[in-house]
A and B are shown apart, each in its own frame.
Chain A
Amino acid sequence: MLNYKELDTLFDHILNEFSKADLENWLAFDAEREMLERLQDGETVITHHSITVTKLFDAREIFLAEPWVDDIYTLAA
């Protein structure tokens, strides 16, 4: 039979030993474990690396279409 009064403080002590870094490590381990389980079960897991693209502002991209632009296509057709 468990003694909940004794376990009460023991629980808090053990839990508080887990720092932010420890929790992050465990969550990363758990996520990887879940993914491996899915792979073992035959599920296809698509992973991708997201590359941050630096968006360059180029003033030449912004221009107002000249009224004659449409006419070029009309002529070409």
Chain B
Amino acid sequence: MQRVTLKDKAFLVGYHTQEWRETKVLEKPISCDASNAWLGIGYYFWSEIEFAHYWGQDFKKHRTGCYDIYSAYLDIANCINAVFDEEGYFFFRKKVEIAILHFLNNGQDVSLKKVHRFLAENVWQKMGVTGIIYDDIPTNPRIKNRVYSEIPDLYYKKRIQIVIFDLGNIFKFSIVLEEQT
């Protein structure tokens, strides 16, 4: 994970993939649709450019055949770090389970994705949580022969995503690689 310091404040560098736009470069990241927002609606970034490429190749070039990768400085000071922080991981896990139970106890059977969306909109931000760092499953259904590991099924690399709920915690958003195939 790449970190930078700007005016004595530490930021994490995140990578954001979008479909290539022939005539323009994005000035800000695009918020994820509800149906794809697995940790809640917000701005999604990869912690490593390698995974940003995979995402582009698999999901972000069906209209134009190309994708762009942007980078940004992310203020993660108030993000739940469920990847490297033991306390953060168990806090996150426990609260997701409590939220699922709350829905069930009120007669609502909901998907995990909906619970995450609910928490992002109604709970996390009210608590001052500005985002979540979590590792996604290390496989990708679109390209079956993608090599993540020299030893099959031993996924030694965490495929880390960061969701930032508010644009105010995203800085220096700029294009890194254009028109990738």
Chain A residues packing against B (C-beta within 8 Å) = 1-2, 4, 7-8, 10-12, 14-16, 18-20, 23-24, 26-27, 30, 33-34, 37-38, 41
Cβ-defined partner of A18 (8 Å) among B77, B88, B91, B102: B102
Q: How many angstroms between the C-alpha atoms of A7 and B127 in the bound complex?
A: 7
Given A4-B91, A15-B102, A18-B122, 4 other A-B residues pairs in contact with their CB atoms under 8 A = A11-B127, A30-B34, A30-B118, A38-B35
Nearest CB to that of A40 among chain B residues?
Answer: B33
Residues on B facing A (Cβ under 8 Å): 33-35, 77-80, 87-88, 91, 95, 98-99, 102-103, 106-108, 110, 114, 117-118, 121-123, 126-129
The reply to whether A34 and B34 contact each other, CB–CB distance below 8 Å, is yes
Contact indicator B98/A27 (Cβ below 8 Å) = no
Q: Are A37 and B33 in contact (CB under 8 A)?
A: yes
Q: Is the interface of A mostly helix, strand, loop or mixed?
A: helix
Does more than half of chain B's interface fall in helix, strand or loop, or is it mixed?
Answer: helix
Q: Is the CB of B108 within 8 A of A23?
A: yes
B106 near A12 with CB under 8 A, answer: no
| Chain B residue contacts of A15, Cβ below 8 A | 98-99, 102, 123
- Measured in the bound complex, the distance between the Cα atoms of B124 and A14 in whole Å is 9
- Measured between C-beta atoms, what is the minimum distance from A22 to chain B in Å? 9
Interchain CB contact under 8 A, A19 and B106:
yes
Most B-side CB within 10 Å, residue of A4, A20, A24, A41: A4
Q: Is the CB of B107 within 8 A of A20?
A: yes
Query: Which partner residue on chain A sits nearest B41 by CB separation?
Result: A33
Q: Specify which of B87, B88, B127 lies most central, judged by the most chain A CB atoms within 10 Å of its CB.
A: B127
Asked if residues B123 and A20 are in contact (CB atoms below 8 Å), the reply is no
- With A14-B127, A26-B118 as given contacts, are A33 and B34 in contact (CB-CB < 8 Å)? yes
Residue of A nearest to B130 (CB): A2
A18 to chain B, nearest CB (A): 7
Bound CA–CA A66/B87 (angstroms): 79
Return the contact of B78 from the options A2, A20, A33 (Cβ within 8 A): A2
Give Cα A27 to B122, complex, Å. Answer: 12
Inter-chain contact A30/B107, CB cutoff 8 Å: no
- Residues in B neighbouring A38, C-beta threshold 8 A: 35
